[in-house]
């Protein structure tokens, strides 16, 4: 059994013609989808789009498993230093597949070392983390495809110094693993010069598409995730999406519907709402994938388009008590993807008590799983009744195979979305200005002119504060 996309409630037959899509409107995109599919396959065949082929890279998987075993054998704590695509997949996989309180379990009941991912370079967060960790029993995995991301480099320098002071300069490298480009970047140079163990990020795999290479797989293997199952699921989804038939390809159907909602129904917000705490951070991973890939100023012909839906993450049932009022009655500007599981890995029974109280008596004898699943169906019903298009992605259960399917489904959907919007889904030029300005403010060599530009701009701005 694989993931299933139930798109019934995206259609006008469910939510009305003003807010839903007709089957004919979707069908109109079939020819376009065939062309985009052919283009993507050509780019894949030319070696440009490496993410498609990661599930079949058994050599990389074996290298990752062996490196992970060394960490598992020697360390109690494992810290990932990375940000963006170099952190979000790590977090999402662990939240989905690890014990919800993995770090609190005693060592003999934990599936691997404790895992920490302090992606934000927040001084208080990092200071607090480094205070509670014993460096002698901690391995740090520095992950950066480019080998030059300031946040990650700053963390690396802090950790390196801590290790030198605690385990001694000669042992620093024993506590580090670097995941970066196989040939380029400052960190690759450092790894080679200092003999720090390292893993490669394939050059043709972009940051936010890298969860199924060493970036996401190595930390997953360290904490005991079955990475072969993760890859098997991703491979199965890749084969399922090898068809250019819109109606049988869940990735193309999802991206086409979202494109049409944006363009023809003015729904420029895509909400992903898991109904399982374990799936919560998959929505965070999806948020980056969609935002950085399709949020673009220019199309491939260089025309100003300023396109892209705004991805929003929500969590059922928590956000029923926070966001659903807006979702059901607010502006008609959203399309929803609910994530649901058909089978809970564990159950919590609700013991009966207080039979005289209507507020409690109906719950007794049921389970929390039944309650949360009912709430998911109820929200779906309420959204549909209010004319809010929604679809449901169904996990037969939450396991490594289905999480692998999830990753590949949305990577392919996003690549296809790039074709629909006619933008480059694989770059992120909008991030550069802020990055360069940070370099300038922090005094990086070569950014003196940028610093002068910033200072002039700040000098001209009259602050308005209250
Ligand atoms: O998708 C991307 O390329 C980015 O979001 C990167 O993942 C992020 O900026 C981190 O980059 P790096 O892995 O080079 O440190």
Task: Find out whether the beta carbon of 411 lies less than 6 Å from any atom of ligand 1.
Answer: no
The verdict on 77 and 212 lying in the same domain is yes
302 with 287: CB under 8 angstroms?
no
Last residue of some domain: 210, 225, 240? 225
29 and 69 both lie in a single domain: no
- If you search the block for the tokens 């507020």, which residue do you land on? 359
User: What's the CATH number where 327 sits?
Assistant: 3.40.50.10490
Question: In this structure, is residue 441 part of a structural domain?
Answer: no
Contact 51, 205 (CB under 8 A): yes
Q: Answer yes or no: is the C-beta of 145 below 6 A from any ligand 1 atom.
A: yes
Q: What is the pLDDT of residue 321?
A: 97
Asked if the structure places residue 457 within a domain, the reply is: no
Contacts of 202 (CB under 8 A, 6+ apart): 50, 54, 60, 182, 213
**Domain boundary at 421, 437, 457, which?**
421
Same domain, 333 and 276: yes
Regarding whether 390 and 298 lie in a shared domain, the answer is: yes
Residues of the chain with pLDDT under 50: none
Domain shared by 369 and 237, yes or no: yes
Is 87 among the domain residues? Answer: yes
Q: Which of 292, 380, 401, 411 is catalytic?
A: 292
Distance between CA atoms of 374 and 139, rounded to whole angstroms?
Answer: 42
Residue 303 lies in a domain: yes
Q: Classify each residue of 194-226 as buried b or exposed e, where b means 16 or more C-beta atoms within 10 Å of its C-beta.
A: eebbbbbbbebbbbbbbbbbbbbbbbbbbbbbb
Q: Is residue 170 part of a domain?
A: yes
Predicted pLDDT at 337? 98
* Surface-to-core class of residue 94, CB atoms within 10 Å of its CB (0-12 exposed, 13-18 middle, 19+ buried): buried
**Domain assignment of residue 451, yes or no:** no
Say if residues 224 and 111 touch (Cβ distance below 8 Å).
yes
User: What pLDDT does 184 receive?
Assistant: 96
308 and 331 share one domain: yes
Q: 216 in ligand 1 pocket by Cβ < 6 Å? A: no
Residue 405 located in a structural domain: yes
Pair 251, 272 in one domain: yes
* Options 264, 342, 435, 455, the catalytic residue: 435
Number of domains observed in the structure of the chain: 2
Q: What is the pLDDT of residue 287?
A: 98
337, part of any domain: yes
**Is the sign of the CA dihedral 457, 459, 461, 465 positive or negative?**
positive
Tell whether 103 and 156 lie within a shared domain. yes
User: What residues contact residue 283 under an 8 Å CB cut-off, 6+ apart?
Assistant: 272, 273, 274, 313, 314, 315, 339
Domain that holds residue 200: 50-225
Residues 6+ apart with CB under 8 A from 243: 249
Give residue 69's pLDDT. 98
On whether both 128 and 212 belong to a single domain, the answer is: yes
> Do the Cβ atoms of 309 and 269 come closer than 8 Å?
yes
Does the annotation count 292 as an active-site position?
A: yes
> Rounded to an integer, what distance in angstroms lies between the CA atom of residue 167 and that of residue 379?
53
How far apart CA 115 and CA 77 sit, in angstroms, is 6
Which of 225, 252, 271 is the C-terminal boundary of a domain? 225
Close Cβ partners of 220 (under 8 Å, ≥ 6 residues apart): 90, 93, 94, 97, 227, 230
Q: How far apart are CA 186 and CA 183, in angstroms?
A: 10
For 97-117, b/e burial (b = at least 16 CB within 10 A) is: bbbeebeeeeeeebebbbbbb
Check pocket membership of 379 for ligand 1, CB cut-off 6 A.
no
Q: Kindly state whether residues 162 and 237 are assigned to the same domain.
A: no
Same domain, 172 and 308: no
pLDDT given for residue 328 in this prediction: 98
Half-sphere exposure (CA, 13 Å, Cβ side) for 326? Answer: 12
Closest atom of ligand 1 to CA, residue 151:
15
Residues linked to residue 179 through DSSP beta bridges, in sequence order: 143, 199
**pTM as predicted:** 0.98
Of 145, 211, 296, 430, the residue with max ligand 1 atoms within 8 A of its CB, to mutate for a pocket test, comes to: 145
403 in the same domain as 317:
yes
Identify the pLDDT of residue 117.
98
Indicate whether residue 207 lines ligand 1 (CB < 6 A): yes
């Amino acid at each position: 059994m694989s993931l299933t996309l139930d798109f019934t409630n995206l259609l006008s037959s469910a939510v009305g013609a003003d807010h839903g899509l007709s089957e004919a409107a979707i069908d109109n995109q079939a020819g376009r989808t065939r062309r985009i599919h052919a283009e993507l396959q050509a780019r894949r065949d030319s070696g440009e789009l490496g993410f498609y082929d990661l599930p079949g890279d058994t050599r990389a998987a074996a290298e990752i498993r062996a490196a992970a075993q060394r960490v598992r054998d020697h360390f109690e704590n494992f810290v990932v230093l990375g940000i963006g695509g170099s952190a979000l997949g790590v977090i999402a996989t662990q939240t989905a597949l690890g014990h919800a309180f993995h770090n609190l379990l005693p060592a003999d009941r934990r599936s691997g070392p404790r895992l920490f991912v302090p992606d934000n370079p927040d001084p208080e967060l990092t200071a607090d983390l480094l205070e509670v960790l014993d460096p002698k029993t901690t391995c740090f995995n520095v992950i950066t495809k480019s080998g030059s991301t300031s946040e990650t480099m700053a963390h690396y320098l802090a950790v390196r110094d801590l290790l030198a002071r605690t385990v001694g300069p000669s042992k620093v490298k024993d506590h580090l693993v670097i995941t970066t480009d196989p040939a380029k970047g400052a960190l690759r140079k450092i790894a080679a010069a200092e003999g720090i163990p390292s893993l490669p990020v394939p050059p043709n795999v972009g940051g936010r598409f890298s969860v199924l290479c060493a970036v996401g797989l190595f930390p997953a293997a360290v904490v005991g995730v079955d990475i072969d199952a993760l890859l098997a699921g991703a491979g199965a989804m890749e084969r399922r999406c090898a068809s250019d038939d819109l109606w049988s390809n869940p990735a193309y159907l999802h991206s086409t519907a979202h494109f049409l909602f944006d363009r023809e129904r003015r729904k420029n917000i895509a909400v992903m709402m898991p109904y399982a705490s374990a799936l919560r951070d998959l929505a965070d991973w999806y948020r980056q994938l969609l935002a950085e890939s399709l949020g673009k100023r220019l199309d491939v012909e260089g025309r100003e388009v300023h396109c892209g839906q705004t991805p929003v993450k929500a969590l059922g049932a928590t956000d029923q008590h926070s966001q659903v009022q807006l979702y059901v009655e607010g502006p008609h500007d959203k399309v929803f993807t609910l994530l649901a599981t058909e089978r809970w890995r564990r159950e919590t029974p609700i013991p009966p008590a207080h039979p005289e109280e209507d507020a409690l008596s109906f719950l007794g004898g049921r389970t929390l799983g039944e309650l949360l699943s009912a709430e998911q169906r109820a929200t779906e019903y309420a959204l549909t009744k209010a004319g809010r298009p929604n679809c449901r992605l169904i996990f037969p259960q939450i396991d490594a195979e289905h999480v692998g399917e999830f990753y590949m489904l949305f990577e392919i959907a996003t690549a296809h979305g790039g074709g629909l919007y006619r933008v480059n889904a694989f770059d992120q030029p909008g991030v550069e200005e802020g990055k360069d300005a940070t370099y300038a403010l922090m005094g990086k060599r070569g950014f003196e002119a940028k610093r002068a530009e910033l200072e002039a701009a700040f000098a001209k701005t009259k602050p308005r504060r209250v």
